[in-house]
């Protein structure tokens, strides 16, 4: 399967079309509604709960953007549904609630957050939710094991690898040296067989994504585009940008 055209047809709003100055926080429902209104694709992150649900949230722990504290994986979906985003009345969504809200109006690009422990529970729940969803949706992860799980559990959905040039123990404390080596230069690609690559905009151009794009014809997304210089770099070296902090149509 080749990556579908819808994957690169429009800019992708990073964690929704959020704007903290207007009280719209990343990954919360209002950010999703704003992206739909702007007709942008939507990138979100999902995390696993203690009882196996997929929740739309970037951080492993509560507290940066939400009330409360503690790791998401130690809390149930019922507990997390009581958590509100700071200075708002909005609450965390499940992946199923996100899909119901979007309803196929714009594409979803869903990043599976990983603890690099070989668990596939989050991808299994993602596959269950998306099996009943008719809209365009793709999955991706930094963790090759999660991309491999997508290949096995949801083969009809596009899957991608999120990548950058260097992986250090300091920046990736949950990984082993072998895992970091496998992530570098997309060495896992023949095993995971991604349909697309999402690469750090500040590290473009780079050989591995160039080969993926130009030799293996994998579309190249790039993250996270925030400045005019990054936008120009994305236009030169990638097929579409994952953006935040500005409105591409203005």
Tokens describing residue 250: 């203005």
The structural domains of the chain, with segments of one domain joined by +, span 5-243
Tokens describing residue 237: 């070296």
Q: How far is CA 177 from CA 168, 170, 191, 195, in A?
A: 9, 11, 19, 26
Closest by Cα among 37, 38, 17, 36 to 28:
17
pLDDT grade, residue 2 (50/70/90)?
confident
pLDDT of 173 reads: 96
Give yes or no for residue 76 having a pLDDT over 90: yes
C-alpha–C-alpha distance, residues 104 and 122, integer Å: 22
Over residues 28-38, mean pLDDT: 97
Q: In terms of C-beta density within 10 A (0-12 exposed, 13-18 middle, 19 or more buried), how is residue 27 classed?
A: buried
C-alpha–C-alpha distance, residues 131 and 143, integer Å: 22
Residue with the two structure tokens 């708002």: 88
Q: How far is CA 145 from CA 118, 136, 137, 160, 168, in A?
A: 6, 23, 19, 12, 18
Q: Name the CATH code of domain 5-243 (choices 3.40.50.300, 3.20.20.190, 3.40.50.1100, 3.30.565.10).
A: 3.20.20.190
Q: What is the largest CA-CA distance in the chain?
A: 48
pLDDT of 193 reads: 96
Q: How far is CA 99 from CA 105, 109, 112, in A?
A: 10, 11, 15
Convert the pLDDT of each residue in 89-141 to its tens digit.
Answer: 999 999 999 999 999 999 999 999 999 999 999 999 999 999 999 999 999 99
Mean pLDDT computed over every residue of the chain: 97
- Range 18-27, long-range pairs (CB < 8 A, 24+ positions): 18/244, 23/87, 23/88, 25/65, 25/85, 25/86, 25/88, 25/90, 26/58, 26/65, 26/244, 27/56, 27/57, 27/58, 27/92, 27/93
Convert the pLDDT of each residue in 149-204 to its tens digit.
Answer: 999 999 999 999 999 999 999 999 999 999 999 999 999 999 999 999 999 999 99
């Amino acid at each position: 399967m080749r990556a579908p055209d819808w994957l690169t047809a429009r800019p992708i709003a990073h964690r929704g079309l959020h704007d903290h100055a207007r009280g719209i926080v990343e990954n919360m429902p209002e950010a999703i509604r704003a992206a739909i209104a702007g007709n942008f694709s939507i990138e979100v992150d999902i995390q696993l709960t203690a009882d196996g649900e997929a929740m739309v949230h970037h951080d492993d722990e509560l507290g940066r953007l939400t009330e409360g504290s503690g790791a998401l994986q130690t809390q149930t979906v019922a507990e997390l549904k009581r958590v509100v985003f700071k200075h708002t009345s909005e609450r965390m969504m499940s992946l199923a609630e996100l899909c119901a809200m979007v309803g196929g109006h714009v594409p979803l690009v869903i990043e599976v957050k990983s603890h690099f422990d070989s668990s596939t529970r989050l991808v299994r729940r993602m596959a269950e939710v998306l099996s009943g969803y008719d809209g365009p949706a793709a999955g991706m992860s930094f963790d090759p094991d999660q991309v491999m799980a997508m290949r096995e559990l949801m083969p009809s959905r596009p899957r991608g690898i999120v990548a950058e040039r260097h992986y250090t123990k300091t920046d990736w404390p949950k990984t082993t040296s072998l895992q970091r080596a496998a992530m570098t230069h997309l060495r896992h690609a023949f095993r995971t067989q991604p349909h697309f690559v999402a690469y750090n905009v500040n590290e473009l151009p780079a050989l591995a994504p160039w080969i993926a794009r130009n030799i293996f014809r994998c579309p190249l997304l790039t993250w996270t585009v925030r400045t005019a210089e990054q936008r120009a770099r994305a236009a030169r070296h990638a097929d579409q940008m994952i953006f935040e902090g500005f409105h591409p149509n203005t």
